[in-house]
Amino acid sequence: MSLQIVTIVGARPQFIKAAPVSAQLRQYHQEYLVHTGQHYDANMSQLFFDELGIPAPDVNLEIGSAPHGEQTAQMLSAIEKILSSQKPDVVLVYGDTNSTLAGALAAAKLNIPVAHVEAGLRSFNRAMPEEINRILTDRMADTLFCPTQTAVAHLHNEGMTAGVFLSGDVMYDAALHFAEMAKDKSDILQQLQLNERSFILATCHRPQNTDSADALRAIVAALIDCQEPVVFPVHPRTRGFLRHSGLLESLQQNRHIAMIEPVGYLDMIQLEQHAKKVVTDSGGVQKEAYFFKTPCITLRDETEWVETVEDGWNVLVGADYEKIIAAIKHFTPPQQQNDHYGDGHAAEKIARHLQEFYGVH
Ligand code: UD1
Ligand code: UDP
């Protein structure tokens, strides 16, 4: 029996996760796709639907940016109306954004089962808005699709065993699937005149780095002083803080730093595959660097993706100027990696598991 599934997405990494999952879900089930509108710039949203072949959302709630409580509340109210009329068998949410929390909470309040893709991740840093969103979403979920064994262990430690399923990481599915396409379709390396493994790829958008003038200043100073060509696709949140703190101009004046608008996924994975090193505070980018065997320098003190650090491919440097520069100059991973993120078929497993779990009434 095919299921009626309502999927909630809203932010850039969720579109990328939905690409492989929606394609699989629609082979077995009927999916109604809700875009909350959390991200709305063309290069943070529509671009991903166009280039990754994600089905057009059935509805875009156009909630937009707002303080966290207000944004989440507006999403909750709008999603509740949709779920009340759609009456799905299950609501599928991804990751740890405010869209994730709103979707899970709206469903739980209506007694509709929740399936959480990327369950069980923990940074153990409750100052991160995402950590609160994850913990609450996992508590409300009936089916918890874990990307890694570490995530399964976190849930077990918190007393959650029922409904926990090790699916593997849908971002690994996406990276494998789209890497070939990126070779043909992306000309970002030519556009920016970049040579193989000769540049640093930087991204930064976590509030702990962007909203703190000291942290942002240290990161920018390290990128300026590292004496390597740097490609820096700037998240809209970060652009605002750079402008506000006067750092935008110093970055723009530096000829070895290419500050560019956020790029599409195909350009991004092309950059990740060819960079000498990646400097980032993004969750997704840390893993993609690992998938593509590019050393990663993480601008945080902890990570949810601990396997990348344990294997020696990722180093945590926080927003520490000296550590960032030292890692850009000297960090060298070993050759070996381990299989932490599944076999590239996580999306298929998720679609099949949903059928087994909810398909029999
Ligand atoms: C959100 C998620 C974060 C995720 C990130 C992915 C939460 C709490 N945070 O952070 O977990 O890693 O998305 O990128 O859900 N803005 C624009 N245009 C857009 C989107 C945002 O200009 O299309 C600007 C607005 O000024 C907005 C700010 O970016 O206030 C932050 O956007 P928001 O969605 O609140 O949080 P992110 O930092 O993007
Ligand atoms: N990404 C992208 N273009 C960019 C920056 C990132 O396509 O300019 C992709 C990146 O490859 C990864 C995802 O966006 O798949 C990560 O999203 P983000 O860093 O916004 O959020 P996080 O993963 O930290 O939640």
Count CB atoms within 10 A of the CB of residue 172: 24
Please give the full DSSP string across 303-358, using - where no structure is assigned.
Answer: -S-HHHHHTTSEEE-TT-HHHHHHHHHH----S-----S-SS-HHHHHHHHHHHHH
Q: What is the pLDDT of residues 274-313, one digit of tens each?
A: 999 999 999 999 999 999 999 999 999 999 999 999 999 9
pTM of the complete model beyond 0.95: yes
Q: Is residue 288 within 6 Å of ligand 2 at its C-beta?
A: yes
Q: pLDDT tens across 126-179, in order?
A: 999 999 999 999 999 999 999 999 999 999 999 999 999 999 999 999 999 999
* Domains 4-169+342-358 and 178-330 are alike in CATH topology: yes
| Boundaries of every domain in the chain | 4-169+342-358, 178-330
* Rounded-to-integer distance, Cα 352 and Cα 29, Å: 10
Which residue, judged by its Cα, is nearest atom 34 of ligand 1? 38
Q: Residue 360 pLDDT > 90, yes or no? A: no
Tell me phi and psi for residue 175, to 5 degrees: -60, -45
Pocket-testing residue among 205, 282, 291, 299, ligand 2, by greatest number of atoms within 8 A of Cβ: 282
Where residue 361 falls among pLDDT bands split at 50, 70, 90? very low
Position in ligand 2 atom list of the atom nearest CA 16: 15
Q: Is 12 in the pocket of ligand 2 (CB under 6 A)?
A: yes
Please say if 177 is a catalytic residue: no
Please tell me the number of the ligand nearest to residue 35's CA: 1
Among 29, 39, 205, 274, the active-site one is 205
What confidence score (pLDDT) does residue 359 get?
Answer: 76
Architecture of domain 4-169+342-358: 3-Layer(aba) Sandwich (3.40)
Token pair listed for 298? 């993480």
User: Ligand 2 pocket: which of 12, 93, 173, 269 to mutate (most atoms <8 Å of CB)?
Assistant: 12
| Candidates 3.40.50.2000, 2.60.40.1180, 3.30.540.10, 3.40.50.150; CATH matching 178-330 | 3.40.50.2000
At residue 160, φ and ψ (nearest 5 deg) are -105, 115
Please report the atom of ligand 1 found closest to the CA of residue 13.
Answer: 6
